[in-house]
Amino acid sequence: MAIKIDTVIIDSEETSRELIANYLETVDDVNIIQQFKDILAAQDYIIENRPPLVIVDITKKTNISLDVISKLTTLVKNIKIIVLSYETESDIVIKALRAGAREFLVKPLIEKDFIAAVQKMKDLILGNINDTTKCKVITTFSNKGGIGKTSIAVNLAMEIANITKEKVALVDLNMQMGDITTFLNLDPSFDTSYVINNLDRIDETFLLTTLEQYNKTSLYVLADPPDIEQAEIITSEDITTLINILRNVFSYIVIDTTSSFDAKTITALDNSDLILLVSIINLPSIRNCQRCFDLFKKLGYSKDKIKLIINRYMEADDIKIEDVEEVLDHKVFFKIPNNYYTIINSINKGIPICDASPNSNICKSFKQLGALLSDNYSYNNKTSKPQNQREQGFKFLNLFNRNKGDN
Ligand SMILES: Nc1ncnc2c1ncn2[C@@H]1O[C@H](COP(=O)(O)OP(=O)(O)OP(=O)(O)O)[C@@H](O)[C@H]1O
Ligand SMILES: [Mg+2]
């Protein structure tokens, strides 16, 4: 007989509790044992009965709910909590995940996302998957230099580690020209070539001691080899092997690349679950992005695999986001504000942006991006805000159409 997963629902809205119960009926082996309107009323019941799955709406009494969630995840071993909320503020998402929630879903619920989240919890509870098999590989790329790839890779990896507390590997594939160690002021003893030369010795302990742990966090850095001979003997096959072994130990791998379409970079892109294609808003950069999209299409990458990131974004830019989206036929996934002072201050100090300038708009932006790209948060539910209205017929598009044939 299949094991039933005892589940508690906590939601102040009766209609919402009914809806959740209806959705749960479609998932095999989930058994609702109790429903509550209020998390404070539910906490003793949960501590006593130790259900493996709790689904809780935290829209009202958010802070109290987060405190209770934190208490429950400490007291009830292996409990899995799915948090629901009408609030989409990244601060709340981050606090919920830090309190120990495994999933954050934005209300109103989308049935398929909700069921996928429950199914994932069910697989975890039944041991069908363990937490590290879900490793997500995210690579920052642009075929233009100096666009912000390293800034994004470093700060995104740091925030994913901060938010999820899961192990994140940050890998520098800029062979002998990497900047990650400078950005984080590290002087690692080992690098990519050392790992690749010791493939026969690799296990979890080897990796966790060879990659450089950043400041007692769950972020581990794998630097590029500093010397040309070591860099040149690394093959594309080695890159695939490296990513595959890291996948066994880390929940996330963030890869920083060079600005060229060389074989190693393409291998990293092939092996990635998500490519963050970074651009700034100007004509040369957008044109380069178009070339990247053409190549990605030839490489057979799905549109979903590529997330377009606009770096150094300024509201007052002449060229609007809609223009970029129209020209590239791709939605902008995320915008990072232009803030040279904050970034350069963090680089010069050799510490992540949120350590150097915790109140800056850039730090807030990286926390949001980290939350969006961490698996515990259902970002598909987030609808982007409408863009500013503007006058039609802006010259950027005309300019682009005129130049289209030049490629
Ligand atoms: N959001 C931002 N606002 C202002 N300046 C930024 C922003 N992001 C990056 N920069 C600046 O752009 C410069 C290049 O950034 P970064 O090194 O991250 O780019 P890159 O694409 O990795 O460059 P490379 O191709 O040389 O590896 C840095 O000096 C940084 O200060
Ligand atoms: Mg770089």
CATH, residue 225: 3.40.50.300
> Residue 347 contacts by C-beta under 8 Å, 6 or more apart in sequence?
151, 182, 183
In what helix (H) or strand (E) does residue 80 lie, and over which residues does it extend?
Answer: strand 80-85
Residue 14: the pLDDT is 96
Q: Ligand 2: distance of its center to the CA of 239 in Å?
A: 18
- Residues 312-352: tens digit of each pLDDT: 999 888 889 999 999 999 999 999 999 999 999 999 999 99
In a domain, 347, yes or no: yes
In a domain, 403, yes or no: no
Q: Count the domains in the chain.
A: 2
Q: Ligand 2: distance of its center to the CA of 302 in Å?
A: 25
* 139 and 116 in a common domain: no
* 58 and 25 in a common domain: yes
* 201 and 79 in a common domain: no
Q: Which of 78, 97, 129 is the last residue of a domain?
A: 129
Residue 389: the pLDDT is 38
Atom of ligand 1 nearest to the CA of 311: 1
- Residues 231-288: tens digit of each pLDDT: 888 888 889 989 988 998 899 999 999 998 888 999 999 999 999 999 999 999 999 9
* 75 and 33 in a common domain: yes
Residue 176: the pLDDT is 77
Q: Ligand 2: distance of its center to the CA of 379 in Å?
A: 27
In a domain, 60, yes or no: yes
Q: Ligand 2: distance of its center to the CA of 185 in Å?
A: 15
CA distance 126 to 155: 34
Q: Is 91 left (phi over 0), alpha (psi -120 to 50) or beta?
A: alpha
* 155 and 123 in a common domain: no
Among the residues of 2-110, which ranges form H helices?
14-25, 39-49, 62-75, 90-99
Residue 41: the pLDDT is 96
CA distance 119 to 122: 5
Ligand nearest to the CA of 347: 1
* 278 and 370 in a common domain: yes
Instruction: Indicate whether residue 127 lines ligand 1 (CB < 6 A).
Output: no
pLDDT less than 70: residues of the chain: 1-2, 127-133, 376-407
CATH number at residue 102: 3.40.50.2300
Instruction: Indicate whether residue 65 lines ligand 1 (CB < 6 A).
Output: no
Amino acid at 404: K
In a domain, 401, yes or no: no
Q: Which of 96, 129, 162 is the last residue of a domain?
A: 129
Instruction: Indicate whether residue 312 lines ligand 1 (CB < 6 A).
Output: yes
Residue 129: the pLDDT is 53
In a domain, 352, yes or no: yes
* 158 and 86 in a common domain: no
Cβ(38)–Cβ(45) below 8 Å? no
Residue 3: the pLDDT is 73
Mutate to test the pocket of ligand 1, among 151, 262, 282, 334 (most ligand atoms within 8 A of CB): 151
- Could you list which residues have their CB under 5 Å from ion ligand 2? 149-150, 179
Residue 211: the pLDDT is 94
* 111 and 16 in a common domain: yes
* 264 and 160 in a common domain: yes
* 246 and 174 in a common domain: yes
* 92 and 61 in a common domain: yes
Atom of ligand 1 nearest to the CA of 259: 25
Residue 399: the pLDDT is 57
Instruction: Indicate whether residue 151 lines ligand 1 (CB < 6 A).
Output: yes
Instruction: Provide the 3-class DSSP secondary structure of residue 148.
Output: coil
The size of the chain, in residues, is: 407
Q: Ligand 1: distance of its center to the CA of 174 in Å?
A: 14
Domain span holding position 316: 132-374
* 195 and 61 in a common domain: no
In a domain, 286, yes or no: yes
Residue 286: the pLDDT is 95
Q: What is the largest CA-CA distance in the chain?
A: 70
Q: Which of 113, 129, 145 is the last residue of a domain?
A: 129
Paired tokens of 216: 């007692």
In a domain, 407, yes or no: no
Residue 392: the pLDDT is 40
